[in-house]
Amino acid sequence: MPGQEGGMAAADDQTFVAVIQEYAPRLYRHLLRLLQDPQDAEDALQETFLKAYQHLGDFRGQARLSTWLYRIATNEALMQLRRKNPTIFSLEALQGDDAYPDEILLNQWQILPEQAALSAEMRQVLERAVQRLSPALRVVFLLRDVEGFSTRETAEILGISSDAVKTRLSRARLRLREALARYFQGSASQRSEAAL
C-alpha cells in the first residue's frame, strides 16, 4: 500500500528525486497495466512527474502524496486512452460491455488462495483477464484491488461517486472470478482425465 504522508510544498530537488525513486516503479506498473503499451506507459509516467513538479505548490497535504500522484498518473492514462478511442467512455455511467455476462459459472474451487497466487500460470491468467476488462472497469479494479486504495480514495482519484466505484469493482471482480472459475474447471478436468 502506498503510504508516504505529509506535505511537499517546500520540497527541494533532493526530495523530488526521492519521490521519483519511491513512486516511479509502482506508478509505471500501474500505467503499464492500464495502457497495455510500454511506450505509452513511459510517456504517461514522464508527464505525471512533470505535472507533479509543476503543481507541487498545489499539494497541501490534505490528501496523501500517493493519492495525489496516482490521481495525476491515472488522469494522464485516461487522457491517452480517450485520445486513442474517439468513443469516449464514461467512468460514472455503466455501459453495455460492463453488464453481467449471461452465464455465471458455479463450480467449487478446491484451492488455498495464497498458495494458488504463487503460481506463475495463475498470474498470467489474471493479467490476461485484467487486460480484457473495459478501461472503465480496469481503472477501478487496479486502484482498489491491486494498488490497495480505499473506495473513498478511488472515488477521489477518479472524480466519481463511491457508489460508481463499488458497482464497477463488482463487475470487474466478477470477470476476474469467471476467468479463475474457467481455469480451475480446466485444471479439475485435466486431473480427472489423468486419474483415469
Partner 1 sequence: MSRSMSSACRQWLDPISQYVDGELEEELCEALEAHLQHCPDCRLYLDTLAKTVRIVRASLREVPIELPSDLQERILRRVREAKSK
Residues found near partner 1 in the complex (CB under 8 A):
16-17, 20-21, 24-26, 28-29, 32, 38, 42, 45-46, 49-50, 53-54, 100, 103-109, 111, 113-114, 116-118, 122-123, 126-127, 130, 145-148, 151, 166-167, 169-170, 173-174, 176-177, 180-181, 185
Q: Which is nearer to partner 1, 5 or 102 (CB)?
A: 102
Q: Cα–Cα distance between 188 and 78 in angstroms, integer?
A: 39
In the complex, minimum distance from the CB of residue 122 to partner 1, in angstroms, rounded to a whole number? 6
Q: Cα–Cα distance between 76 and 79 in angstroms, integer?
A: 5
H or E element that contains 43? helix 38-54
Identify the CA nearest to 50 among candidates 81, 80, 24, 14: 24
Identify the CA nearest to 18 among candidates 57, 52, 60, 43: 52
DSSP 3-state of 5: coil
Q: Which is nearer to partner 1, 97 or 127 (CB)?
A: 127
In the complex, minimum distance from the CB of residue 124 to partner 1, in angstroms, rounded to a whole number? 10
In the complex, minimum distance from the CB of residue 147 to partner 1, in angstroms, rounded to a whole number? 8
Q: Which is nearer to partner 1, 65 or 122 (CB)?
A: 122
Identify the CA nearest to 186 among candidates 132, 105, 101, 104: 105
Q: Cα–Cα distance between 56 and 12 in angstroms, integer?
A: 10
In the complex, minimum distance from the CB of residue 16 to partner 1, in angstroms, rounded to a whole number? 7
Q: Which is nearer to partner 1, 85 or 107 (CB)?
A: 107
Q: Which is nearer to partner 1, 87 or 108 (CB)?
A: 108
For the chain, first and last CA: distance in Å? 46
In the complex, minimum distance from the CB of residue 87 to partner 1, in angstroms, rounded to a whole number? 25
